[in-house]
Structures are given as C-alpha cells and as structure tokens.
Amino acid sequence: MDEPLKLRVSELDFSEIKNNFIEYLKAQDYFRDFDYEGSTINSILDLLAYNTHYNSFYLNMVANEMFVDSAVLRSSLISMTKLMGYKPKTRTGSQAKINITFSTDDNPSLITIPKNTKVFSTINGVNFTFVTDNSYSYENTNLDSIVTVSDINIKEGEPLTYQFTVDNTEDSQRFILPNLGIDESTVEVFVQESSVDTRRSKYVLASNLFNIGSTSNVFFTEETTDFYQEIIFGDNVLGRKPKSGNIVIVNYNVCSGSLGNGANTFFALGNIAGYDSYSISVNDKSSGGSDEESLESIRFNAPRNYSAQNRAVTLEDYKSIIIRDYPSAQSVVVYGGESAVPPVFGKVFIGIRPKSGITLSTSVKNRIKNDILKKYNIASITPEFVDIDYMDIVVESMVKFNSSLTSRSIQTLKSLILSSILNYSSTQLETFETSFTISSLQRYIDNTDKSIIGNDTKIKLKKSFLPDLDIKKDYSINFNNLLHYPYSDYIGTISSSSFSIEDDLGVNRENCKIENKKNVLTVYNYSDGEKITRRTDIGKVDMETGRVQIYDFNPYAIVGDNLDIIAQTESNNLSAINEQIFLIRSNNVKIEMIDLSTTITTNAQ
C-alpha cells in the first residue's frame, strides 16, 4: 500500500487549496482515476476550497484585530487600548480670546456676559458658532458709559442638551449621546432626583481613580462605535451610581474640530448682556481645534501613554502627554534645564510647533500649562515654554540641465525646482530634532525633471531679529553648528543685511553691514567704492559653537522688516538642537540654470 500523502495546509489561495485537495485525493487508490476537471466531484472540491479559503481569511482577520499593530477596526483598537489605560482623543472645538466693548446709556455698575453667549465667524465661506465657556463679569466702578470686558474665552460649537431616565432594572441600559463631534471638554452632567423632585447634583469627569469613593459624584466617558460618546457612571464602589427614576441631564457642545481654526473676526446677532451697541475685537484668533484621533495616532500614542502612567516625570512623559491632549501640535520638543545654555536646574523646557501657524499664543501656552500639564506635573519640576528658534537655510543652487530632453522652458524648470526645494523643507525639515543633509536636498532637485543632469548647491544659515532702534542692547544668536573658518585671518564667516548706525566717532552711517575679522565683529560700509570700517568691535563670534554675541548695538534704522545675520557653516550637513527648527523659504532660494546642450550659460534668476 502506498504511503499516504500528507495534506499541505500552508497555502491560502483558493486555487492552491483546490489543487492540494486534488493531489491528496489522487494519492488515494479509490480516487486515483477520477476526472477532476469534468466530473461532479469538481464542484464539490470548489465548495470545499471556497469554505477553507473563507475560514482562513476570516481567522486571519480575527487574529489581526487582536493586536494594536494590525487592527483595522476602530472598535477593536479602542477596546485593546482600554487595557493600556488610553482613551483616544475626541473632537475638540477651537478656542479664541476676544474683547467686547459696550456703549451704554445707563452707565451700569456691573456687566455680566452669560455662559454660552453666541458669537459667529466665517472661515472660507462657512459660518461657525462660538460660545463663551463661562460667565464673564466686569465691575464698572467709575460708572463709565464705554465698558470693555476683556479676555473672554470662546469655544467653537453648538451647545445642546440631552436627557436620560435611569432604569436600573434594565441591565442593558447605556447612556450614549446621539450626536457626533462632541467636544468632551464641554460635557457637563447633572443628575436630577426625579421628574417631580428637581434637585440636581453635578457630576464631574474623572480622568483617574485617585480619591474616588462610593459617594463620589463622578462620571467617565468612552468612545463607542462610529465615534459616538457614552457616559458611564460608577458602581457605588468607585463612584456613585444613579438610582432608578433619576434623570441624567447632559450639556455639551457639538463642534467642527480643525475646521474652526483660524477665525480672526467675530460678530453677534442681537444683543449681548442686554446691550445692542457693542464691538468685538480679537486677542487671539481661534486655534486648538482638532478632529477625532486617527487609528495611526492611537497606535503611536497608546503604548507611550502607557509608559508615562499618567504622570510627567521623564522628557518622554511630557512629550506623550502633550501630543495626546493637545492634538493641534505638529511637533513637540522637550529638554531638561541641564541641557539649556546656560543650565537652569529644576525646569523642563517645552517647544511646540502648531499645525496651523508657526508660533503659539500666550493664552494657548497657559492653557496647555494649566489645564493639561499641571495635573501630571511633579512639584519639584517647573515646565516652561520656549519660542521656536527658526533657522533659515539660504540655498544657492547651480542646476545643470539638457534642454533637448524636455519641452519645458527654463522659467518653468526653475519654478518646479523651487517647488521641489520647498517640498523638501516641508516634508524633511520644519520639525524638531531633524537634521539637514545636502545630498538629500540635491536628490530632490535632480528628481524634479528628467532633463536635469546634476546640481552644485551651497547653503548658509540665516537668523533674523528685530533690534530696538536707538537703544543700546546686547543680542545673542546661536547657530549651534561649527562655522567655516579655514585660517586665522579669514573674513566672511558672518555677514548681515543693511542698517544705519553711528560710527565710533558718533557720525551717522547708512548702508552698513556686519562682518567678522577673526572672531571679532565689526561694522563697515562703502564710500566712493572704498570699504571702510565704521565700528571696530561690536561683538564676538565663537566658531566652534556658532554663537554670535553683539554688544551695545543701537542702529537707528534697518532695511526690511528684520535684521538678518548670515553664517557660513563648515559642513553642509547641519543639526538642530532643543527648540531649533530648520526651514527653507522661497525668498532665501537662488537658482541658476545652466543648459549643457549649448555652450551658452543662461542665468534664470
């Protein structure tokens, strides 16, 4: 008797499963001579192969849904991250700060703007509703007719209310809110005794189990399927459980998420605080709005949040908490005070690059510090925000191309190359802790068009600041990279844009610039074509660290909006540290096109 053929189970495709069945049956004496292509058994084998393939696919998908890295269903991922103590971020309404100035006839002693007072804004042709997050009052002690209520915080969203009647005899009762896009930070829960007894108890959102007992009026929230939010109460062990007949009243805002960012003008319909004559000014335009957390974001943040354990101790703890609780952050850097220059012990420094704009307003920084970090921060460490230190990369590129290989004009090629350079900046730079490499930029340029043969690209670093005019002041500029200084008398490491200043003799001089002589900074200009030093020592430059220090600098005019300090670096590969970010702007790019199909050099500037 033949040794039985083992059935192979490694293949999962339908045709391979069927062929394995046929090979297995052909090895049996009884089925050896069957016609497996034209007989009824072919249909039976199709059915068996289909069933096997279907089950294999199903089990594979089930297995995928059991792991954070491979789950594709949002409900599966949320269920698993619950075990890590992670709750995905819900949609958040953007916030703005406004002032309202009233023109009154009755000279009131007190003006009160109620909570949920509505104002409106239009962004890209779409109307958005903003409401005050609290009641704001102003005591008009001088009984002025013109009264301004300042620093009013408003949140984007439409305020709604929903009620549930508690029935503890129904085990399956759940308190799922019927609206999408609920801003969790606006949720308020009250439990009324009954439809007859209108006494209410306020319940507060619990973010952890600390100090929660059987009589604590707390509630929890969870995301159910399809982004709906569920209110969960305690079980009389951890949190008070509402009784049958209680009425649960939930107030919340339904918001538009990131679509509400960028509002900088507001208006109202009807009166505010009982007055029809008023004007609205803006302190901070709307920002901070975000959409529901994506699956990839949940996959990234959940394990890191688990390692942080709801406390901010390590640098990564701070970073993961900010990314989790402030989704409008595009990039976050955190470093200890011991890494600062000079060192500042007992502090942690935080820099945030927002998704919209390039800086955070003071009110947003305070909101993150007080509303997010304060409850996780340990007492001995003080978080402090630092402004992003943008370093512009000045690019000069000589691009060689063959015009016979393209139908595009030189100007079109130049525009495409500029777009490639700016695309490199937006995708490879413009975040914290990134490095610049000249070779990667050159690849972006070469890949712009098939006619480009190569490029010779040089770069410098530029930092801009606005000096106080006619005021002597010291300035420190840190490039944090080794500067080019090939020999002791080399001139040209540091240069600047133009400004006007008094020389060493007190005479006003125009069109002056800064340069270095060895490690000393001097001021010069040209007179009748002759280069003349006007101030012999206004600062120093450290070639090793890239730190430029300017002393008693008091220009009385500058050319342009800012004064630019430009540094030639030793290497074309650069590193950014701490709160520094590299970026390339179009006004800092110079492109020269050289057509190798002819002997003519074409300058397309």
Rounded Cα–Cα distance for residues 283 and 11 (Å) = 65
Q: How confident is the model at residue 305 (pLDDT cuts 50, 70, 90)?
A: confident
Single-letter amino acid, residue 425: S
Segment 584-591 shows an average pLDDT of 95
pLDDT at position 601? 45
pTM: 0.64
Rounded Cα–Cα distance for residues 527 and 52 (Å) = 90
Indicate the domain borders of the chain: 14-64, 95-157+258-287, 159-254, 309-387, 467-560
Single-letter amino acid, residue 143: L
- Span 270-293, pLDDT tens digits: 899 999 999 999 998 898 898 988
Q: Which residues contact 484 (CB under 8 A, 6 or more apart)?
A: 490, 493, 568, 569, 570
Rounded Cα–Cα distance for residues 421 and 494 (Å) = 24
Q: How confident is the model at residue 160 (pLDDT cuts 50, 70, 90)?
A: very high
Q: Which residues contact 85 (CB under 8 A, 6 or more apart)?
A: 305, 306, 309, 310
The residue written with tokens 């962004």 in the block is 123
pLDDT of 306 strictly over 80:
no
Q: Which residues contact 187 (CB under 8 A, 6 or more apart)?
A: 205, 221, 229, 231, 250, 251, 252
Helix, strand or coil, per DSSP, at residue 554: coil
Q: How confident is the model at residue 436 (pLDDT cuts 50, 70, 90)?
A: very high
Q: How confident is the model at residue 357 (pLDDT cuts 50, 70, 90)?
A: confident
- Span 40-84, pLDDT tens digits: 778 888 888 888 888 888 888 888 888 888 888 888 888 888 888
pLDDT at position 8? 65
More confident residue, 533 or 52: 533
> Would you list the DSSP string of 11-52?
--SHHHHHHHHHHHHHTSTTTTT--TTTSHHHHHHHHHHHHH
Q: What percent of the chain has pLDDT over 90?
A: 55
pLDDT at position 372? 85
Assigned fold of 309-387 = GMP Synthetase; Chain A, domain 3 (3.30.300)
Q: What percent of the chain has pLDDT over 70?
A: 96
pLDDT at position 5? 55
Q: Which residues contact 486 (CB under 8 A, 6 or more apart)?
A: none
Q: First vs last Cα of the chain: how many Å apart? A: 87
pLDDT at position 602? 45
pLDDT at position 491? 82
pLDDT of 457 strictly over 70:
yes
Phi and psi (nearest 5°) for 122?
-115, 125
Rounded Cα–Cα distance for residues 537 and 551 (Å) = 9
Query: By the 8 A CB rule, do 65 and 73 touch?
Result: yes
DSSP letter assigned to residue 409: -
Q: How confident is the model at residue 9 (pLDDT cuts 50, 70, 90)?
A: low
- Span 199-251, pLDDT tens digits: 999 999 987 777 788 899 999 999 887 789 999 999 999 899 999 999 999 99
Q: Is the backbone of residue 578 left (phi > 0), alpha (psi -120 to 50) or beta?
A: left
The residue written with tokens 């339908």 in the block is 14
Single-letter amino acid, residue 167: D
